[in-house]
Amino acid sequence: MFNLILFGPPGSGKGTQSDKLIEQYGLKHLSTGNLLREEIAHQTKLGLEAKHYMDQGQLVPDEVVIGMIRSALQANPNAKGFLFDGFPRTVAQAEALDKLLAELNEEISIVLALEVSEDELVQRLLNRGKTSGRSDDTDTGVIRARLVEYENKTSPVAGHYQKFGKVKRVKGEGSIDDIFGSLTREIEGKLSA
């Protein structure tokens, strides 16, 4: 299996690049943000609980998202590999993911970390908010809260995987195709190593 984490702050292009990467490499896309929005759309108990955090730009509790990922891994035993998008977002989530994969005799192959300046992130999120229908993309206060959560709780996840030499940093500014080219170069390098 080839298991990839596409890492980066909100607005760094993870969703856009994920769509292209899963097509190119035949990976199963696991986006906890998308899974949570589906739960909200179906008005499940989990969705209603998660919405409360998401509306404020805060992270949903670890056990909720870890449970969703556990189910998704179990539901896709024949996948060629997984692309994790927006997960793990805390070191506890990363440790839980490593453990779940180890139970399958698998591991994270590579962590691709998109780097984008904060001003650019805010602009992109506000722009996306005009069409995404996502209330967490229209309010500058909520956007700032999400960036603070990223800085405090999510950025240490890169340090966790750096300990294992798995992190490759990629410039996330420029054209979508150029960024995709940089990501695929790193993947090809890993696949041929």
Instruction: Summarize as ranges the residues that interact with ligand AMP (CB under 6 A).
Output: 10, 32-33, 36, 53-54, 57-60, 65, 86-87, 89, 93, 136, 146
| Beta carbon of residue 77, minimum distance to ligand AMP (angstroms, whole number) | 22
| Beta carbon of residue 121, minimum distance to ligand AMP (angstroms, whole number) | 11
The nearer residue to ligand AMP, 93 or 182, going by C-beta atoms, is 93
Distance of CA 106 to the CA centre of its chain: 19
Helices marked H in 79-117 — which ranges?
Answer: 91-103
The nearer residue to ligand AMP, 52 or 185, going by C-beta atoms, is 52
The nearer residue to ligand AMP, 29 or 190, going by C-beta atoms, is 29
Helix (H, G, I), strand (E, B) or coil at 171: strand
DSSP secondary structure string, 17-54?
HHHHHHHHH-PEEEEHHHHHHHHHHTT-HHHHHHHHHH
Token couple for 164: 């294992």
Shortest Cβ contact with ligand AMP: which residue? 33
| Beta carbon of residue 78, minimum distance to ligand AMP (angstroms, whole number) | 24
The residues assigned a catalytic role are 14, 89, 128, 134, 146
114 Rama sector, left if φ>0, alpha if ψ -120 to 50, beta otherwise: beta
Sign of the torsion angle spanned by Cα atoms 10, 16, 17, 18: positive
The nearer residue to ligand AMP, 10 or 129, going by C-beta atoms, is 10
Helix (H, G, I), strand (E, B) or coil at 168: strand
Question: Rounded to an integer, what distance in angstroms lies between the CA atom of residue 113 and that of residue 155?
Answer: 10
Element (H, E) at 115: strand 110-115
| Beta carbon of residue 92, minimum distance to ligand AMP (angstroms, whole number) | 10
